[in-house]
Amino acid sequence: MYDYIWKLLEKREKPIDVIVAGLGFMGFGFVSAVRNVVGMRVPLLISRRPKESKKYLEERGFKVKIESNPQKIKDFADKGYICVSDDLSLIETYENEVVLEMTGTVAYGTEIGLRTVKARKHFITMNPELQEVAGTELKKLADLYGVVITDVVGDQPGSLTRMISQAKMQGFKVLVAGNMKRYMDRHATQVKMQPWADDKGLNVRQTVSFTDGTKQSIEMSLVANYLGMDLLQFGMKGPQVEDIKEVLDKFNWNEIPEGGIVDYVIGLKLFPGIFLIVEHKDPHQAKYLRYLGLGDGPRYVLFEPYHLCHLDVAGTIAKVVLFRQETINNSTNPRTKTIAVAKFDLKKGQKLDGIGGNLVYGNIDKIESSDGFLPVGLSDGAILKNDIHQDQPIKLIDVDLPDNAATRLLGFLTQSNSNGENFEEKKVERRPTWLRALHILG
């Protein structure tokens, strides 16, 4: 299909203009790589620190202007410049079809998503955290406004979705979809992980979210929600293996529901990739699969030892713009949720520091079991109203939530009494999503 997409891009009279929000590790990777993609360009980068972003890009050979006039941005783009601005209204006033959100945030990312959908533009994220927390409500809005919301191939959830589609086309039934990890420490802190982050050139918060299992729970929750899959237990099973094919002996196959499950494996020798455990529906294929090196069956491991992150994003964008084809989102009927769990004993009055911080990690649970618990993506800035012991899931009634675009979109408000004490979180009346969204945007 990609050869067809490339030909269509080559034939375009005007390139696909992609507004990018966020210039982190993956954001810069995409902005740099897309220069090699025919028929696509980045005229505008939305950044909360435009001067710093301008300097960062210029030091790496880009021609950059700080600009918030839509027509001037277009003119500069025709001359090979990228314009940088912190003005979110440009999402609505700059004439294009798609916004790529790569901020890694939930609250700020939600505001970007709301503005994008309101402008009737497609909303593409490389941000499973945002999708898993606010994606369902944004999906409802996107359907109402007739636009696409999707995460990308390249990140593990989108890559798994692509792999599952291919497996189904090959006649396989998917039993388990998962990712591969080399190491996990539920109680990882930024101090502990800073040397590793520095060595890899990564943000330490991002590194902690990988290490403490939050990222994998969020990613596998997104897969479960989009594809209607299940999980065996709170936090998933996560067996240890030396080789990926050992995973075939790690599950009780009588426990696997019809729609399959999401899970993960840990092994120091594993690649940071993705895997499927499958059965083939046609018994005549057993001899072919043995000949092709997949083993004797009846179950087989399909895996990819890598995912190419930002390099696959352009393909996702092209499919959205050219064919209105989504890759993965949180669906309008999610099956799972990632809730906040205390890394250490926490005290009343402490302010939680969110995903990748020192105080909480995220763990996946079934939606029917997680009602009333704090989504880990909403934990940043939440203030504890009760003491919480280590590894205890945190309930919504245990916190006073911050007031931001995400908490408002999901229908949460914070209230206090007249002297500002005894904060109490309450759910607002269940107004339709579009009414809440219009209230947020004004």
Torsion angle, alpha carbons of 270, 267, 207, 396, to 10:
130
Distance (Å, whole) CA 230 – CA 300: 20
- 329: nearest Cα among 132, 154, 167, 155: 132
Residues facing residue 240 across a β-bridge: 266
Tell me how far apart the alpha carbons of residues 33 and 431 are, in angstroms, rounded to a whole number: 42
Single-letter code of the amino acid located at 149: I
How many Å apart are CA 176 and CA 231, to the nearest integer? 9
Furthest-apart CA atoms within the chain: distance in Å: 75
Rounded to whole angstroms, the Cα distance separating 80 from 173 reads 48
Question: Tokens for 189?
Answer: 């802190």
CB atoms within 10 A of CB 145: 17
- Beta carbons within 10 angstroms of residue 37's beta carbon: 20
The pLDDT, as a whole number, for residue 306 is 84
Q: Does the pLDDT at position 427 exceed 60? A: no
CA atoms of 425 and 398, how far apart (whole Å): 9
Dig out the tokens for 318 from the structure. Answer: 């092209």
Q: pLDDT tens for residues 303-356? A: 999 889 999 999 999 999 999 999 999 999 999 999 999 999 999 999 999 999
Determine the pLDDT at residue 271. Answer: 87
Domains and CATH numbers, the chain: 2-152+310-323 (3.40.50.720), 156-307 (no CATH), 341-441 (no CATH)
Q: What's the number of CA atoms in the CB half-sphere (13 Å) around residue 356? A: 16
Is the pLDDT at 111 greater than 50? The verdict is yes
Q: Which residues, including other chains, have CB under 8 Å from residue 420's CB and lie 6 or more apart?
A: none
**Least trusted range by pLDDT, from 15-24, 330-339, 407-416:** 407-416
pLDDT digits (tens, 9 = 90+) for 224-271: 999 999 999 999 999 999 999 999 999 999 999 999 999 999 999 998
| Half-sphere exposure of residue 41: CA atoms within 13 angstroms, side-chain side | 19
Q: Would you state the pLDDT for residue 418?
A: 33
pLDDT for res 437: 67
Residue 419 has pLDDT above 60, yes or no: no
- Which of 4-13, 140-149, 174-183, 404-413 comes out lowest in average pLDDT? 404-413
Give me the percent of the chain exceeding a pLDDT of 70. 93
Q: What would the pLDDT profile of 351-404 be if each residue is shown by its tens digit?
A: 999 999 999 999 999 999 999 999 999 999 999 999 999 999 999 999 999 999
| Residue 202 pLDDT | 85
Half-sphere exposure of 382 (CA within 13 A, CB side): 35
Sheet (strand 122-125) strand order: 64-66, 82-85, 40-46, 16-21, 98-101, 122-125, 149-151
| pLDDT 10s digits, 273-286 | 999 999 999 999 99
Distance, in Å, from the CA atom of 223 to the CA atom of 230, rounded to the nearest integer, reads 10
pLDDT of residue 439: 65
In this prediction, residue 412 has a pLDDT band, given cuts at 50, 70 and 90, of confident
Comparing 35-44, 126-135, 196-205, 351-360, the range with the smallest average pLDDT is 196-205
**What's the chain's average pLDDT?**
93
What's the mean pLDDT in 111-116?
97
**349: DSSP letter:** T
Residues 140-160: what's their mean pLDDT?
96
Instruction: Please report the pLDDT score of residue 415 as a whole number.
Output: 40
How high is the pLDDT of residue 200?
Answer: 84
C-alpha to C-alpha distance for 252 and 223, rounded to whole angstroms? 21
Q: How much is the pLDDT for 414?
A: 45
Res 424: pLDDT = 40
Q: What is the average per-residue pLDDT within 93-110?
A: 97
Closest residue by Cα to residue 367 from 334, 326, 391, 400: 334
pLDDT at 425 over 60: no
Q: How confident is the model at residue 433 (pLDDT cuts 50, 70, 90)?
A: low
Q: pTM of whole model > 0.85?
A: yes
What band does 1 get if pLDDT is binned at 50, 70 and 90?
confident
